[in-house]
Amino acid sequence: MLSSKLPKIWYGGDYNPDQWPKEIWHEDMRLFRLAHIDVATLPVFSWSLLQPEEERYEFGWLDEILDLLAKNGIYVCLATSTAAHPAWMARRYPDVLRVDFHGRKRKYGVRHNSCPNSPTYRHYSAELAGRLAERYKDHPTLVAWHVSNEYGGYCYCDNCARAFRRWLQRRYGSLDEVNERWNTRFWGHTFYDWDEIVPPNILSEHLSEWDHTRTAFQGISLDYSRFQSDSLLECYLGEYRRIKEHTPDVPVTTNFMGTYKPLDYFKWAPYLDVVSWDNYPSNRSEPWQVAFRHDLMRGLKEGMPFMLMEQTPSQQNWQPQNALKRPGVLRLWSYQAVAHGADTVMYFQLRQSRGACEKFHAAVISHAGHENTRTFREVAELGRELKELGDTLIDSRIEARIAILFDWENWWALEYSSGPSIDLKYIPQVEAYYAACWKQNLAVDIVHPDMDLSRYDVVLAPALYMARDGFPEKIQQFVEAGGTFVTTFMSGIVDENDLVILGGYPGALRKLLGLWVEEIDALFPDDENQVIIDEVPEELQGLKGTYSARLICDVVHSEGAEVLGVFGRDFYAGMPALTRNRVGKGYAWYVATSPEPALIERLIAQIAAQHGIAPVAEAPAGVEVTRRVKGGRGYTFYLNHNETGVEIDLGEAPRRELLSGRTLSGRVHLEGRGVMIVADA
Ligand code: GLA
Ligand code: ZN
């Protein structure tokens, strides 16, 4: 449980009272009570008010607001305010300012803008966190810590360059080793002195002003991504350690952003007491895209419940078109987060800003200033429901037997790679396999390749280009022991430095898959090939058919793998497109192209059936079903993403539905965008 002070799904969000006169604070309290809000996150962006001068700290206003919150029964997720440095700091200590990808030294402005290797930033951010922790360690409202905000972006300044060289020295020991790993004999890049190494950006190794993935040297760019992610993690840890000196038992987090590419969240997660994240889909996002991100965030700490730190009560301001959330969507998407493991439902923000770039971003309390708005009513109604749920769902877990592998370093490497196609992106490949599971309501965990896989029956690894040390052996054992492994084109090809594993693709996985790939063809966007599945063993009859194939087609030779599908066109027509290799008690599958969704869905259906993995429950299309389990009792979530109502069959036994309190059985109606949480009988 996050905090014994508040044993329920936390409800609240970012609160910026320092942007408002004090009279408003009292009105805020009244409205928070009406909306059943019990947690406020603050002060997220108040460094310049907390430390108006280098030698002077001002906590008086924060004391006052925290006391007022305490009086009103509202808890605090205390933020450290270090995501935007004060203007005076930038003027006095320019080392806090970043140098961007174009090599330009930034001036003071915006936020999330501090150089992660700035001695000034490191010192003063930790100092502020420490002072806040010391001052508020015993404050009755304190339930969690929110370090900085949405860490992100990279810096290319001289301090970063020096720190990068030290990072390389620690990682590789010698310059010879670096030259080897980066293959620097290519284009005569051999380094003879550490100081010859400079950050890879548009002034050095990068090839495109606008596409930051285009690099001449994958090795250096990949290491720079690792290094920048590590540098920001060091900033977080500087604050974390100071906080822990004073409040060892209060959970500390920083808010993540789902599939945010620049930071390796799997590497960060062990240092967070709880993962939290900010969910900002557009009205056009598919529900499975959102579900995937929730599962990814839950997977970072191997299934531990996470915090939904931010979502908008309605529209955003930073998308091209900022559509309103339609009636009922706020509730539906909030429960979707809970259905995937969230133990909090929180917003950005509680009161809408009057000026600057977020003034048109929705908030619980709008510019109108009162409770008579659609958004407020929806927020308040949800608050009431969450209050009534109490601690029923808190700490419950999701049980999955299918894992999808996800790896940030693989993402970087795959997309830094020049060729075979600029259309090849990691996320859509993973999403394709995730969506296939989602549509069948099969529970999935998202897992890092270094994590324990033995508790799964099925491991899916779309485009797992980079074979980490030890992974091929581990997955071999997994299959031998009876697991099913499915991987695709562009897998197992390179090592951790993007050096090709020689002897034929897919290098590290060749033996396990029982095949080799001689060539990799890239299709033009308007081209397609086919996967033809005709003669297959009895248990795979459901796969039969002809499917379109796009993006990439491998020219494959079987070395023992059973050929189940072949390409339909071009000079490799008749050659393997889908194979299965029996290894020990299990199977290793290879999908040599990017097929239409129907094939992936059928493939997963067949494999799940063979392992006796059933959907969480049967439901009509567009109804998402998940299950959280606590103390042996399951709670099944039905989320109707359709605008229209559907009929759900709950079976014979009467069961309690938590949101309505009714006891249900047999066929029940679930309205458009409706939600049910049904307890086991
Ligand atoms: C992010 C930030 C918030 C706010 C919202 C607006 O998630 O963390 O401070 O800017 O976006 O959507
Ligand atoms: Zn820097």
Whose atoms come closest to the Cα of 97: which ligand? 2
What does the pLDDT look like over 457-470, one tens digit per residue?
999 999 999 999 99
Confidence of residue 430 (pLDDT cuts 50, 70, 90): very high
Whose atoms come closest to the Cα of 15: which ligand? 1
- The answer to whether residue 650 sits within a structural domain is yes
Instruction: Calculate mean pLDDT across residues 474-491.
Output: 98
How far is it, in rounded angstroms, from Cα 320 to Cα 212?
22
What's the pLDDT score for residue 634? 98
Chosen domain end from 224, 254, 282: 224
- E-assigned strand segments in 450-512: 458-461, 484-488
- The answer to whether residue 516 sits within a structural domain is yes
Q: Are residues 310 and 249 in the same domain?
A: yes
Q: Which atom of ligand 1 is nearest to the CA of 310?
A: 7
Instruction: Calculate mean pLDDT across residues 384-406.
Output: 98
Q: How far is the CA of 355 from the centre of ligand 2 (A)?
A: 30
Q: Which residues contact 53 (CB under 8 A, 6 or more apart)?
A: 88
**What is the residue with the minimal CA distance to atom 5 of ligand 1?**
348
Confidence of residue 175 (pLDDT cuts 50, 70, 90): very high
What's the pLDDT score for residue 327? 98
Whose atoms come closest to the Cα of 315: which ligand? 1
Instruction: Calculate mean pLDDT across residues 147-165.
Output: 98
What's the pLDDT score for residue 107? 98
Q: How far is the CA of 73 from the centre of ligand 1 (A)?
A: 25
- The answer to whether residue 499 sits within a structural domain is yes
Backbone angles phi, psi at 407, to 5 degrees: -150, 120
Residue matched to tokens 């929705």: 362
For ligand 1, residues with CB inside 6 Å are 149-150, 278, 280, 310, 312, 316, 348, 358, 361
Q: What residues does 14 pair with on adjacent strands?
A: 41
CATH number, domain with residue 54 = 3.20.20.80
The answer, as to whether pTM is greater than 0.75, is: yes
Q: What residues does 669 pair with on adjacent strands?
A: 647
Q: How far is the CA of 350 from the centre of ligand 1 (A)?
A: 12
Q: Are residues 304 and 246 in the same domain?
A: yes
Q: Are residues 462 and 371 in the same domain?
A: no
Cβ atoms of 99 and 157 within 8 Å: the answer is: yes
- The answer to whether residue 394 sits within a structural domain is no
Q: How far is the CA of 115 from the centre of ligand 2 (A)?
A: 4
Q: Are residues 64 and 177 in the same domain?
A: no
What's the pLDDT score for residue 375? 98
> Within 13 A of 24's CA, how many CA atoms are on the CB side?
18
What's the pLDDT score for residue 441? 98
Q: Are residues 303 and 347 in the same domain?
A: yes
DSSP character string of 263-302? S-HHHHGGG-SS-EEE----TTS-HHHHHHHHHHHHHTTT
- The answer to whether residue 643 sits within a structural domain is yes
What's the pLDDT score for residue 368? 98
What's the pLDDT score for residue 279? 98
**What is the residue with the minimal CA distance to atom 7 of ligand 1?**
278
The two beta strands, 675-679 and 655-656, are unpaired
CATH number, domain with residue 483 = 3.40.50.880
Number of domains in the chain: 4
Chosen domain end from 389, 418, 444: 389
What's the pLDDT score for residue 514? 98
**What is the residue with the minimal CA distance to atom 12 of ligand 1?**
316
What's the pLDDT score for residue 143? 98
Q: Are residues 197 and 69 in the same domain?
A: no
Confidence of residue 373 (pLDDT cuts 50, 70, 90): very high
What's the pLDDT score for residue 142? 98
How far is it, in rounded angstroms, from Cα 143 to Cα 39?
9
Q: Which two tokens stand for residue 50?
A: 């907390």
**Helical axes 119-136 vs 218-246, angle rounded to 10°:** 30
- The boundaries of the domain holding residue 527 are 402-610
Helix (H) or strand (E) holding 677, with range, is strand 675-679
**What is the residue with the minimal CA distance to atom 11 of ligand 1?**
348
3-state secondary structure of 24: helix
Q: Which atom of ligand 1 is nearest to the CA of 280?
A: 12
Instruction: Calculate mean pLDDT across residues 129-152.
Output: 98
The full 3-state SS of 176-205, as one line of letters, equals HHHHHHHCCCHHHCCCCCHHHCCCCCCCCC
Instruction: Calculate mean pLDDT across residues 478-507.
Output: 98
Q: Are residues 87 and 131 in the same domain?
A: yes
Q: Catalytic positions, please? A: 150, 310
**Residue closest to 93 by CA, chosen among 121, 129, 122:** 121
- The answer to whether residue 1 sits within a structural domain is no
DSSP character string of 384-445? HHHHHHTTSSTT-B---SEEEE--HHHHHHHHHS--S-TT--HHHHHHHHHHHHHHTT--EE
Q: Are residues 654 and 627 in the same domain?
A: yes
What does the pLDDT look like over 314-340, one tens digit per residue?
999 999 999 999 999 999 999 999 999
What is the CB neighbour count within 10 angstroms for residue 484? 22
Q: Are residues 237 and 219 in the same domain?
A: no
For a pLDDT cut of 70, what percent of the chain falls above it? 100
Q: Are residues 66 and 180 in the same domain?
A: no
What rounded mean pLDDT belongs to the chain? 98
Instruction: Calculate mean pLDDT across residues 388-394.
Output: 98
What's the pLDDT score for residue 577? 99
What is the CB neighbour count within 10 angstroms for residue 377? 14
Q: How far is the CA of 319 from the centre of ligand 2 (A)?
A: 28
What's the pLDDT score for residue 567? 99
- The answer to whether residue 518 sits within a structural domain is yes
Q: Are residues 164 and 275 in the same domain?
A: no
How far is it, in rounded angstroms, from Cα 125 to Cα 81?
8
CATH number, domain with residue 660 = 2.60.40.1180
What's the pLDDT score for residue 233? 99
Q: Are residues 69 and 26 in the same domain?
A: yes
- The answer to whether residue 139 sits within a structural domain is yes
The full 3-state SS of 614-652, as one line of letters, equals CCCCCCCCCEEEEEEEECCEEEEEEEECCCCCEEEECCC
**Residue closest to 222 by CA, chosen among 596, 497, 469, 37:** 497
What does the pLDDT look like over 540-574, one tens digit per residue?
999 999 999 999 999 999 999 999 999 999 999 99
Q: In a 10 Å sphere around its CB, with 0-12 CB exposed, 13-18 middle and 19+ buried, how is residue 227 labelled?
A: buried
